[in-house]
Amino acid sequence: MKLAIFGPPGAGKGTQSKTVSMKMGIPQISTGDLLRAESKSGSELGKMARSYMDRGALVPDQVVLGMLKDRLQKGDCKNGFLLDGFPRSIPQAVALEVITDLDLVVNIAVDEERLLKRITGRRMCQCGAAYHVEEKRPRVEGKCDLCGSALYQRDDDKEATVKKRMDVYRSQTAPLLEYYRQRGLVRDVDGNRSIDEVREGVMGAIDGGAPLK
Protein backbone atom coordinates (compact mmCIF):
# COMPACT_ATOMS: atom_id res chain seq x y z
CA MET A 1 0.00 0.00 0.00
CA LYS A 2 1.19 3.49 -0.88
CA LEU A 3 0.22 5.87 1.88
CA ALA A 4 0.77 9.46 2.89
CA ILE A 5 0.22 10.79 6.40
CA PHE A 6 -0.89 14.38 6.50
CA GLY A 7 -1.30 16.99 9.17
CA PRO A 8 0.08 20.26 10.50
CA PRO A 9 3.43 20.42 12.32
CA GLY A 10 3.06 18.58 15.64
CA ALA A 11 -0.06 16.63 14.65
CA GLY A 12 1.66 13.32 15.38
CA LYS A 13 2.62 12.27 11.85
CA GLY A 14 6.04 10.96 12.84
CA THR A 15 4.74 9.23 15.97
CA GLN A 16 1.96 7.44 14.10
CA SER A 17 4.03 6.73 10.99
CA LYS A 18 6.63 4.87 13.01
CA THR A 19 4.20 2.34 14.53
CA VAL A 20 1.94 2.05 11.49
CA SER A 21 4.88 1.36 9.16
CA MET A 22 6.15 -1.33 11.56
CA LYS A 23 2.71 -2.94 11.78
CA MET A 24 2.29 -2.91 8.01
CA GLY A 25 5.84 -3.89 7.12
CA ILE A 26 6.38 -0.91 4.84
CA PRO A 27 9.07 1.76 5.28
CA GLN A 28 8.33 5.16 6.77
CA ILE A 29 9.78 7.85 4.56
CA SER A 30 10.03 11.17 6.36
CA THR A 31 11.45 14.00 4.27
CA GLY A 32 12.10 15.90 7.51
CA ASP A 33 14.22 12.99 8.83
CA LEU A 34 16.03 12.67 5.48
CA LEU A 35 16.79 16.40 5.48
CA ARG A 36 17.98 16.37 9.10
CA ALA A 37 20.30 13.42 8.33
CA GLU A 38 21.71 15.27 5.31
CA SER A 39 22.24 18.37 7.41
CA LYS A 40 23.99 16.37 10.13
CA SER A 41 26.36 14.87 7.54
CA GLY A 42 27.74 18.38 7.01
CA SER A 43 27.40 18.25 3.20
CA GLU A 44 26.89 21.43 1.18
CA LEU A 45 23.40 20.20 0.29
CA GLY A 46 22.65 19.65 3.97
CA LYS A 47 23.87 23.12 4.91
CA MET A 48 21.71 24.66 2.24
CA ALA A 49 18.66 22.68 3.39
CA ARG A 50 19.31 23.65 7.01
CA SER A 51 19.19 27.37 6.12
CA TYR A 52 15.57 26.91 5.00
CA MET A 53 14.57 24.63 7.87
CA ASP A 54 15.91 27.04 10.49
CA ARG A 55 13.66 29.73 9.07
CA GLY A 56 10.64 27.42 9.04
CA ALA A 57 10.48 27.64 5.24
CA LEU A 58 10.11 24.76 2.81
CA VAL A 59 13.34 23.41 1.38
CA PRO A 60 13.39 23.87 -2.44
CA ASP A 61 11.51 21.18 -4.38
CA GLN A 62 14.56 20.22 -6.40
CA VAL A 63 16.40 19.12 -3.24
CA VAL A 64 13.49 17.34 -1.60
CA LEU A 65 12.40 15.59 -4.79
CA GLY A 66 15.93 14.38 -5.48
CA MET A 67 16.13 12.79 -2.03
CA LEU A 68 12.67 11.31 -2.27
CA LYS A 69 13.29 9.76 -5.69
CA ASP A 70 16.49 8.11 -4.46
CA ARG A 71 14.70 6.77 -1.40
CA LEU A 72 11.73 5.38 -3.35
CA GLN A 73 14.10 3.47 -5.63
CA LYS A 74 15.38 1.35 -2.75
CA GLY A 75 14.22 -2.27 -2.68
CA ASP A 76 12.24 -1.97 0.55
CA CYS A 77 9.70 0.27 -1.20
CA LYS A 78 8.57 -2.33 -3.70
CA ASN A 79 5.57 -3.43 -1.60
CA GLY A 80 4.60 0.08 -0.64
CA PHE A 81 5.66 2.89 1.66
CA LEU A 82 4.36 5.47 4.06
CA LEU A 83 5.19 9.10 3.27
CA ASP A 84 5.49 11.40 6.29
CA GLY A 85 5.81 15.11 5.55
CA PHE A 86 5.70 14.75 1.77
CA PRO A 87 4.10 16.09 -0.37
CA ARG A 88 3.84 19.48 1.30
CA SER A 89 2.62 21.62 -1.60
CA ILE A 90 0.62 21.18 -4.78
CA PRO A 91 3.74 21.32 -7.01
CA GLN A 92 5.24 18.48 -4.92
CA ALA A 93 2.06 16.42 -5.34
CA VAL A 94 2.17 16.96 -9.09
CA ALA A 95 5.84 15.92 -9.17
CA LEU A 96 5.05 12.82 -7.09
CA GLU A 97 2.41 11.74 -9.60
CA VAL A 98 5.11 11.48 -12.24
CA ILE A 99 7.01 9.02 -10.02
CA THR A 100 4.15 7.06 -8.47
CA ASP A 101 0.50 7.24 -7.38
CA LEU A 102 -0.93 7.11 -3.85
CA ASP A 103 -3.64 4.74 -2.55
CA LEU A 104 -4.61 6.74 0.50
CA VAL A 105 -3.98 9.98 2.36
CA VAL A 106 -4.64 9.86 6.12
CA ASN A 107 -5.20 13.34 7.50
CA ILE A 108 -4.53 13.81 11.23
CA ALA A 109 -6.54 16.84 12.34
CA VAL A 110 -5.52 18.60 15.56
CA ASP A 111 -6.77 21.84 17.12
CA GLU A 112 -4.32 24.65 16.72
CA GLU A 113 -3.82 25.54 20.39
CA ARG A 114 -2.79 21.95 21.09
CA LEU A 115 -0.16 21.92 18.33
CA LEU A 116 2.06 24.58 19.87
CA LYS A 117 2.25 22.63 23.15
CA ARG A 118 3.10 19.45 21.33
CA ILE A 119 5.86 21.06 19.32
CA THR A 120 7.53 23.14 22.01
CA GLY A 121 7.58 20.08 24.33
CA ARG A 122 8.85 17.73 21.63
CA ARG A 123 12.18 15.97 22.14
CA MET A 124 13.66 14.13 19.18
CA CYS A 125 16.02 11.28 18.58
CA GLN A 126 18.32 11.04 15.56
CA CYS A 127 16.49 7.80 14.66
CA GLY A 128 13.34 9.85 14.08
CA ALA A 129 11.51 8.84 17.28
CA ALA A 130 9.69 11.70 19.03
CA TYR A 131 9.04 12.13 22.75
CA HIS A 132 7.37 14.85 24.78
CA VAL A 133 8.41 16.46 28.07
CA GLU A 134 5.00 15.68 29.55
CA GLU A 135 5.09 12.02 28.56
CA LYS A 136 6.16 9.06 30.73
CA ARG A 137 8.47 7.81 28.00
CA PRO A 138 11.42 7.40 27.54
CA ARG A 139 12.24 4.74 30.13
CA VAL A 140 15.65 6.32 30.82
CA GLU A 141 15.47 10.11 30.96
CA GLY A 142 16.98 11.80 27.91
CA LYS A 143 17.70 8.51 26.07
CA CYS A 144 15.72 7.02 23.20
CA ASP A 145 13.80 3.80 23.99
CA LEU A 146 14.44 2.51 20.48
CA CYS A 147 18.14 3.15 19.98
CA GLY A 148 19.57 4.62 23.20
CA SER A 149 20.78 7.87 21.60
CA ALA A 150 20.54 11.19 23.45
CA LEU A 151 17.36 13.18 22.86
CA TYR A 152 17.52 16.79 21.71
CA GLN A 153 15.20 19.69 20.94
CA ARG A 154 14.98 20.58 17.26
CA ASP A 155 16.25 24.10 16.50
CA ASP A 156 13.10 24.76 14.50
CA ASP A 157 10.83 23.74 17.43
CA LYS A 158 11.28 27.11 19.15
CA GLU A 159 8.13 29.22 19.27
CA ALA A 160 9.08 31.90 16.69
CA THR A 161 9.96 29.33 14.01
CA VAL A 162 6.88 27.25 14.82
CA LYS A 163 4.61 30.22 13.98
CA LYS A 164 6.28 30.53 10.59
CA ARG A 165 5.89 26.77 9.95
CA MET A 166 2.19 27.04 10.78
CA ASP A 167 1.85 29.87 8.24
CA VAL A 168 3.63 27.76 5.65
CA TYR A 169 1.30 24.86 6.46
CA ARG A 170 -1.80 27.04 6.02
CA SER A 171 -0.67 28.69 2.80
CA GLN A 172 1.15 25.87 0.99
CA THR A 173 0.24 22.51 2.53
CA ALA A 174 -3.41 22.76 3.57
CA PRO A 175 -4.60 23.46 -0.03
CA LEU A 176 -3.22 20.03 -0.92
CA LEU A 177 -5.90 18.37 1.18
CA GLU A 178 -8.57 19.74 -1.12
CA TYR A 179 -6.55 18.51 -4.09
CA TYR A 180 -6.55 14.96 -2.70
CA ARG A 181 -10.15 15.18 -1.46
CA GLN A 182 -11.27 15.84 -5.01
CA ARG A 183 -9.54 12.60 -5.95
CA GLY A 184 -11.37 10.73 -3.17
CA LEU A 185 -8.15 9.75 -1.42
CA VAL A 186 -8.49 11.41 2.00
CA ARG A 187 -9.61 9.89 5.28
CA ASP A 188 -9.72 12.14 8.34
CA VAL A 189 -8.68 11.04 11.80
CA ASP A 190 -9.23 13.08 14.98
CA GLY A 191 -5.73 13.66 16.34
CA ASN A 192 -6.88 15.40 19.54
CA ARG A 193 -6.70 12.14 21.49
CA SER A 194 -4.10 9.94 23.11
CA ILE A 195 -1.36 8.44 20.95
CA ASP A 196 -2.99 4.98 21.25
CA GLU A 197 -6.45 6.26 20.30
CA VAL A 198 -5.09 8.13 17.31
CA ARG A 199 -3.25 4.97 16.22
CA GLU A 200 -6.54 3.05 16.32
CA GLY A 201 -8.08 5.79 14.18
CA VAL A 202 -5.25 5.67 11.67
CA MET A 203 -5.34 1.86 11.46
CA GLY A 204 -9.12 2.01 11.05
CA ALA A 205 -8.75 4.47 8.19
CA ILE A 206 -6.18 2.24 6.50
CA ASP A 207 -8.26 -0.91 6.93
CA GLY A 208 -11.09 0.87 5.16
CA GLY A 209 -13.48 0.94 8.09
CA ALA A 210 -15.49 4.06 8.78
CA PRO A 211 -13.04 6.82 9.69
CA LEU A 212 -13.19 7.31 13.47
CA LYS A 213 -14.05 10.99 13.71
Q: Which residues are catalytic?
A: 13, 88, 122, 154, 165
Note whether 147 binds Zn ion by CB under 5 A.
yes
Minimum distance of ligand ADP from residue 56's CB (angstroms): 6
The site string for Zn ion over 183-212 (x = CB under 5 A, - otherwise) reads: ------------------------------
Close Cβ partners of 52 (under 8 Å, ≥ 6 residues apart): 58, 59, 60
Q: Is 151 in the site for Zn ion (CB under 5 A)?
A: no
Pick one of ligand ADP, Zn ion, none as the site partner of residue 118 (Cβ within 5 to 8 A by kind): ligand ADP
What span, in angstroms and rounded, lies between the C-alpha atoms of 139 and 173?
35
Residue 124 Cβ vs ligand ADP, minimum distance, rounded to whole Å: 7
Question: What contacts 24+ positions apart, CB below 8 Å, involve 123-128?
Answer: 123/151, 123/152, 123/153, 124/151, 124/152, 124/153, 124/154, 125/149, 125/150, 125/151, 125/152, 126/36, 126/37, 126/40, 128/14, 128/18, 128/28, 128/30, 128/33
Are 146 and 178 in contact by the 8 Å Cβ rule? The answer is no
Stretch 97-136: interaction string toward Zn ion, x if CB under 5 A: ----------------------------x-x-x-------
Could you say which of Zn ion, ligand ADP, none residue 195 binds, taking C-beta under 5 to 8 angstroms by partner kind? ligand ADP
Applying CB under 6 A, the residues found at the interface with ligand ADP are: 7, 9-15, 31-32, 35, 52-53, 56-59, 64, 85-86, 88, 92, 118, 121-122, 130-132, 135, 156, 165, 193-195, 198
| Rounded Cα gap, residues 114 and 11, in angstroms | 9
* 58 interacts with, out of ligand ADP, Zn ion, none, CB within 5 to 8 A per kind: ligand ADP
Which residues would be at the binding site for Zn ion (CB under 5 A)?
125, 127, 129, 144, 146-147, 149
